[in-house]
């Protein structure tokens, strides 16, 4: 999963990605909400960690959210978990 060491890093991510996404409604991103809610619980829980990592993950040094949609099209990198 994407690791945010503090609230400032998380806020930077939200302001850089979430607020431009069509999934961001009423000041909330459902993907971000899941990360904030289950961040602590993913430690030692491989399935939860994998699920969170599926939503927001690292590509090199960049953090990306595969659910981020700004133009009405879903990113082609999204694949179902097998």
Query: In this structure, is residue 41 part of a structural domain?
Result: yes
Q: How many structural domains is the chain composed of?
A: 1
- Span 39-80, pLDDT tens digits: 778 888 888 888 888 888 888 878 888 788 876 555 544 444
Query: In this structure, is residue 15 part of a structural domain?
Result: yes
Query: In this structure, is residue 79 part of a structural domain?
Result: no
pLDDT for the residue numbered 82: 41
Whether the Cβ atoms of residue 57 and residue 13 lie closer than 8 Å to each other: no
In terms of residue numbers, what domain contains 58? 7-65
Question: Considering only CA atoms, which of 26, 32, 2 is closest in space to residue 14?
Answer: 32
Query: In this structure, is residue 72 part of a structural domain?
Result: no
């Amino acid at each position: 999963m994407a690791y945010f060491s503090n609230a400032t890093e998380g806020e930077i991510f939200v302001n850089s990605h979430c607020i431009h996404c069509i999934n961001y409604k009423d000041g909330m991103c459902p993907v971000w909400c899941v990360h904030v809610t289950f961040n602590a619980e993913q430690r030692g829980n491989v399935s939860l960690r994998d699920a969170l990592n599926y939503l927001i993950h690292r590509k090199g040094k960049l953090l990306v959210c595969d659910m981020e949609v700004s133009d009405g099209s879903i990113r082609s990198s999204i694949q179902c978990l097998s």
